[in-house]
Amino acid sequence: MKKNLAVVILAAGKSTRMKSETPKVLHPLCGRPMLEYVLDLVKTLRPKKTIVVLGYKQQEVRKCLGTGVTAVVQKSLCGTADAVKTALPALKGFKGTVLVLYGDTPLLQKETVSKLLKYHVENNVDATLLTGNLKKPAGYGRILRDKLANVCAIVEEKDADDFEKAIKEVNTGIICFNNDKLAAALKQVRPDNRKKEYYLTDTINIMYKSGCLVDAVKLIDINEALGINTRAELSKANSVMCSRINERYMLDGVSIVDPASTFIAWGTKIGLDTTIYPFTVIENDVNIGKHCAVGPFCHLREGTRLADDTLIGNFIEITRSSIGPKTIAKHFSYIGDTHVGKLANIGAGTVVANFDGINKHRTKISDGALIGSDTILVAPVSVGKNATTGAGSVVTKNVPAKTIVAGVPARFLRKK
């Protein structure tokens, strides 16, 4: 498809309805700011220009923009039309399609946007809306159509009468514009509505009245339209994103016994034939090898590396640690700031005491070590190759290879 495309992402809004000090677009879905999903999608479209409109706490939002993006700042947050207007100077000299996306609509998929763009370009439309039919359309702008069923306006929920509120077709917020027509229409938008804001949605009726061609493409998967305004919507979007992520792992050869109770952060690496059991939470920056078993009830936190063939059982928390191949930790343990070698066995109830109240310290558990049940390893400490700690040991000194220690504090018992 031949196109001259620019994308404007609106991300200036406050988190009023989220009731949050964090800008809305930085709230995470599966461990990643929602805005980053939108930015990813835009990259796949290869636009000539990407402009992100920032406002509320713009310094914070700027950090997640990455390269190839122009940031502009909306001075007063007086509506989506004003936000798009702020982006116009950065589009000077550009001729073509302007795609407007909202930073709070992260479930949108690239296939949908490509379809919208294709329709817009091939039919030479001046403004093409992405709309969807919602059973519960509350909160969204409603699509008004004329007697010939052509789109003629969008009415916001707050300004809608009862008849309009009953309309199920909503504005997703995603609109393709012909650049020149958009600029002309924006000039005519007035804040004469309940919120006293400049609505981008008003450009539709303005364009319709001036004889422009306005049209709409309908969404198939209505989840994609979900605009996140509240924490309840955030959690709904999170579960949609989680299930998409889980599905991708399953397609790639990972077994997830119960996707509904498995939460895997975006970007986790998981090898072939690994099985994730129910009630498992995997946070950012975790790599899991092949043929591993994880869970049930397992919490893998930042910086966890599991080599191939590891068995991590129930009630295990691991953070900033690497676990070597064929190592087993099957029952309730905390492993933090630790390097564990291969073929080690971490007994039930093992705790790495990595924090002395001020600093965190590292622990090393070498290849073939056998950590007895209920051992506490007081970091910094190391357990040598093939060494054993007795049940209930509190290990405060390094354990030499092939020795057995036991007691509180753990003392040398004998060589192996």
- 104 counts as binding Ca ion under rule CB under 5 A: yes
- 126 counts as binding ligand UD1 under rule CB under 6 A: no
- 201 counts as binding ligand UD1 under rule CB under 6 A: yes
- 224 counts as binding ligand UD1 under rule CB under 6 A: no
Q: What is the dihedral of CA 108, 112, 116, 118, to 10 degrees?
A: 140
To Ca ion, the closest distance from the beta carbon of 104 in angstroms equals 5
- The DSSP bridge partners found for residue 311 are 293, 328
- 283 counts as binding Ca ion under rule CB under 5 A: no
CA distance 325 to 303: 17
Between β-strands 127-133 and 169-178, what pairing exists: parallel, antiparallel or unpaired?
antiparallel
> Which residues, numbered 216-275, are part of the site for Ca ion (CB under 5 A)?
227, 229
Work out the number of other CB atoms within 10 angstroms of the CB of residue 233.
Answer: 16
Size of the site for Ca ion (CB under 5 A): 3
Q: Which of 139, 123, 211 is nearest to 171 (CA)?
A: 139
CA distance 311 to 299: 13
To ligand UD1, the closest distance from the beta carbon of 114 in angstroms equals 20
Of residues 27, 120, 299, 331, which has the active-site annotation? 331
Q: Is 339 a catalytic residue?
A: no
- 298 counts as binding ligand UD1 under rule CB under 6 A: no
Angle of the 202-209 helix axis to the 179-188 helix axis, nearest 10: 100
To ligand UD1, the closest distance from the beta carbon of 310 in angstroms equals 42
Using CB positions, name the residue nearest to Ca ion.
Answer: 227
Distances (CA, A) of 239 to 7, 150, 372: 27, 35, 39
To ligand UD1, the closest distance from the beta carbon of 31 in angstroms equals 20
> Which residues, numbered 58-97, are part of the site for ligand UD1 (CB under 6 A)?
74, 77-80, 82-83
Work out the number of other CB atoms within 10 angstroms of the CB of residue 21.
Answer: 7
Instruction: Pick between residue 227 and residue 336 the one whose CB is nearest to Ca ion.
Output: 227
Candidate ranges 101-109, 126-134, 230-238, 265-273; the one touching ligand UD1 (CB under 6 A):
101-109
Q: Which residues are catalytic?
A: 331
Chain residues that interact with Ca ion, rule: CB under 5 A? 104, 227, 229
